[in-house]
Structure 1
Amino acid sequence: MIIKRVLNNNTVISSNSKGLDVLLMGRGVAFGKKKGQPVAIEQVEKTFILHDRDTQNKFTELMINVPMEQIMVAEKIINFGKIKLGKGLNEILYVNLTDHIHSVIERYKEGIILKNPLRWDIARFYPDEYAVGEKALEIMRSELKLELEIDEAAFIATHFVNAETDQTNDLAYEIAEITKKIETIVKDFYHTEFDEASLDYYRFITHVKFFAQRLLTGDHYDDEDSELLETLKKKYQNEYQAALKIKEFVMEIFDYELSSTEILYLTTHIRRITKNL
């Protein structure tokens, strides 16, 4: 393989047989090398192919300044996350997580340790992603000899949440805040707490998270269930009133009028979680 660009002593850009740019990593793989010279394949320890051009450009620039061991740790965490979550992840995760790990290490060197005010909410609403964050701390402890605060598990979890939603902006915090607010609205309406281990609670929170995601991305349900909603609001009057409280919150904060379909789904899920009260 021929070098197209030298990023640093350990990283070069080449191209494969299909003409795709390939990032090649290996200790000293580019030492003393220039564009147009061949790569010693036996020195290559890792290859990266990112199909999105913009993502690859960002990752390439990142690799110029980030040590190879940090990039490898980020990839190890991502591979664990893919297995744990069993979901497709946006390639931008390679950029965001690598950059996060590098920034965390730099901050810790300066004695700057950030607390995550939403750690418990992220752990509750995104338990699988939070478990990936916890595993990430173990990997960094083992590979980088870095002991991080548990708050970092939640920060890392949000990168996986955002990669799942195919968003390049940070939605996880906003989703968690909206989910927490809606949960509080329902709990206050019924003056109760919920069994967070129950299947009904899991279904409710899952629906609310997707609802929050749609709210933030502007992807809303059409207004197609007004007749069925009329039936439900008579059958489940309290649940409907609780859903209207959520509607008021959404209007006040987001200036958005919920459709009958959204209110219908909220009423149904509130019914499931409160039916045994």
Structure 2
Amino acid sequence: MEIKRVLNNNVAIIESEGQEKIVMGKGIYFSKHAGDEIDESKVNKTFVSSTPKTFDMYIHLFSEIPYEYIDLSQEIINYAKTTLGNKLDEKINIDLTDHMYGSIKRFKDGITVKNALLWDIEKFYPYEFEVGEYALKKIEEKFDVALPKDEAGFIALHFVNAELSEGNIENIYDITKVMQEVMNIIKYSFHREFNTESVYYYRFMTHLRFFAQRLIKKKTFDDTGDQDLYDLIKLKYKEASACTEKIAVYCKKTYKYDLSSEEQMYLTIHIERLITKG
């Protein structure tokens, strides 16, 4: 097996049967370079993407996140495939790894995020929520980090999204229309286009898809969040907050949909990430 490109000590790209693949193994690429041979028996994970865009996202994410997180993410995904019995969109590999890494890092920094949909997630998606609870258990075993139950809900939503991505979602046209309208407001607010290939753009679109789904179904967050936290976010991210207010006015006028303070807070955070990193 010949290496085409080394990303770090644990991750490399090879070409096999005319197709690029990402191959992983703990520390097996140390001191290795393009053109070197690697023992195929030492490779324990291989990723092949159906699209160049997703493959590039794999490269970006897996070259930055420690191997231990990727390894645990795959263990959780394999468990989910067995438990849920549904085909999952391949981007779950990106979503779950990225979310898990970020959640653990924030928790260690003393930051926790309340999941306003926790009760609904547990009620309407019991099997996905069980996967989320399994993930929390494995995270604690591997990293000695006891994430709050809210995170089980967030993880469950990633699997719901991975299932919906296979075309089971209702009102897909209306949801897509709402997403386009919101993105237009953001583009016009900042007079710019965004890099649709970036991980940050993909994260925002994932959030926006759920937002649009709630709007179409007329289901909003309960206002149970921390108003002081939202006020702090508005003060810190003034431009993103102003854009969120435009979106709130538009949704109220066009769809008779009221964004709760908590929903506006999450939207502001995602817009800030998009405009500064996307």
Residue number in structure 2 paired with 1:160 = 159
Change in Cα spacing, 1:83 to 1:67, as seen in structure 2 (3 Å) is same
Mapped to 1, the partners of 2:135 and 2:216 lie a distance apart of 26
Mapped to 2, the partners of 1:177 and 1:83 lie a distance apart of 32
Superposition RMSD in Å? 2.5
Q: CA deviation at 1:174?
A: 5.4
CA contact (8 A) 1:52 1:91 kept: no
CA contact (8 A) 1:158 1:173 kept: no
Q: CA deviation at 1:127?
A: 1.2
In the alignment, which of 206, 225, 247 is matched to residue 169 of structure 1?
206
Higher alpha-carbon Rg: 1
Residue number in structure 2 paired with 1:253 = 257
Gapped runs of 5+ residues in structure 1? 183-249, 255-277
Change in Cα spacing, 1:155 to 1:173, as seen in structure 2 (3 Å) is farther
Mapped to 2, the partners of 1:141 and 1:47 lie a distance apart of 26
Mean CA deviation greater in 34-43 or 102-111: 34-43
Change in Cα spacing, 1:93 to 1:106, as seen in structure 2 (3 Å) is same
- TM-score when normalising by structure 2: 0.62
Mapped to 2, the partners of 1:126 and 1:147 lie a distance apart of 22
Q: Any residues of structure 2 matched to 1:254-269 within 5 Å, and which? A: none
Change in Cα spacing, 1:154 to 1:8, as seen in structure 2 (3 Å) is same
Q: Any residues of structure 2 matched to 1:1-277 within 5 Å, and which? A: 1-16=1-16, 18-166=17-165, 169-170=206-207, 171-172=209-210, 175=213, 181=219, 252-253=256-257
Q: What's the CA shift string for 1:213-233, capped at 9, x where partnerless?
A: xxxxxxxxxxxxxxxxxxxxx
CA contact (8 A) 1:3 1:34 kept: yes
Q: CA deviation at 1:47?
A: 1.9
Change in Cα spacing, 1:181 to 1:135, as seen in structure 2 (3 Å) is same
Gapped runs of 5+ residues in structure 2? 167-204, 221-253, 259-278
Mapped to 1, the partners of 2:157 and 2:70 lie a distance apart of 19
Report the AA paired with residue 12 of structure 2: V
Residue number in structure 1 paired with 2:270 = none
CA contact (8 A) 2:13 2:20 kept: yes
Percent of pairs identical after alignment? 40
CA contact (8 A) 2:104 2:147 kept: no
Where relative contact order (Cα < 8 A, 6+ residues apart) is larger, the structure is 2
Mapped to 1, the partners of 2:148 and 2:14 lie a distance apart of 38
Q: How many residues align?
A: 188
Residue number in structure 2 paired with 1:226 = none
